[in-house]
Amino acid sequence: MSHHLFLLSPSDTPIYSLTHYSTKLPQPTSSSLSSNLPTWSTSAFAGTLTALSGASSATQSHHVQGGAVRMGGGQDRHVIQMIANASLDVIEDVMRKESAMYLKSVDKFNEWTVSAFITPGNMKFILLHETKNDDGIRSFFHDVWELYLKTMLNPFHTAHSPIRSIVFDTRVRASAKKYL
């Protein structure tokens, strides 16, 4: 089960992205559901993604420690980014209405849910995930936010430059491991 995190600047330029493979097992209900579905529908699901990405290697290209049944779920990088980009419109809509920072799940695409977090400085943190994990995700977003604040205080960092710091990367990964 994997998560994809994207940090976007106010002008929607990507600042940082991370793919994290969770060692936590996905919820048992979803996997039993998927095993109950007849095989033709699962392959149709995978088929949607294959059709979208145009690549034939949409299924199981990575070894995941979770070990549960994989639906060939969006391993392809292009699909992930397309989902993330598509969700930006939805996020902007919700942004105008709600003043809270953590917007729970703004979009759903097949098995991927998109959660967003908008900072006061209009930075968008987008997380693609498969399972429901509101509290964990909220804590994770807060952690990433604090790490981001520390990076912003570095005088060598400009507002829209990509974050290349190894320290930031390590800490975000550690935080992801803790909460996701």
Residues that bind other proteins (CB under 8 A): 150, 153-156, 164-165, 167
Write down the residue that tokens 């992930």 correspond to: 80
Residue 39 or 158 having the CB closest to other proteins: 158
How does DSSP assign 34-78, residue by residue? Answer: HHHS-HHHHHHHHHHHHHHH--S--S--S--TT-S----TT-SHH
Residue 132 or 164 having the CB closest to other proteins: 164
Q: Rounded to the nearest whole angstrom, what is the least distance from the CB of residue 32 to other proteins in the complex?
A: 47
Instruction: In whole angstroms, give the CA distance from residue 69 to residue 60.
Output: 10
137 Cβ partners below 8 Å, 6+ apart? Answer: 115, 127, 129, 179, 180
Q: Rounded to the nearest whole angstrom, what is the least distance from the CB of residue 168 to other proteins in the complex?
A: 9
Residue 77 or 164 having the CB closest to other proteins: 164
Residue 59 or 165 having the CB closest to other proteins: 165
Write down the residue that tokens 């419109």 correspond to: 89
Token pair belonging to 100:
């809270």
Q: Rounded to the nearest whole angstrom, what is the least distance from the CB of residue 166 to other proteins in the complex?
A: 9
Q: Rounded to the nearest whole angstrom, what is the least distance from the CB of residue 151 to other proteins in the complex?
A: 8
Strand, coil or helix: what is 113? strand
Q: Rounded to the nearest whole angstrom, what is the least distance from the CB of residue 160 to other proteins in the complex?
A: 15
Strand, coil or helix: what is 147? helix
Residue 100 or 153 having the CB closest to other proteins: 153
Give the phi and the psi of residue 154 in degrees, each rounded to 5.
-70, 120
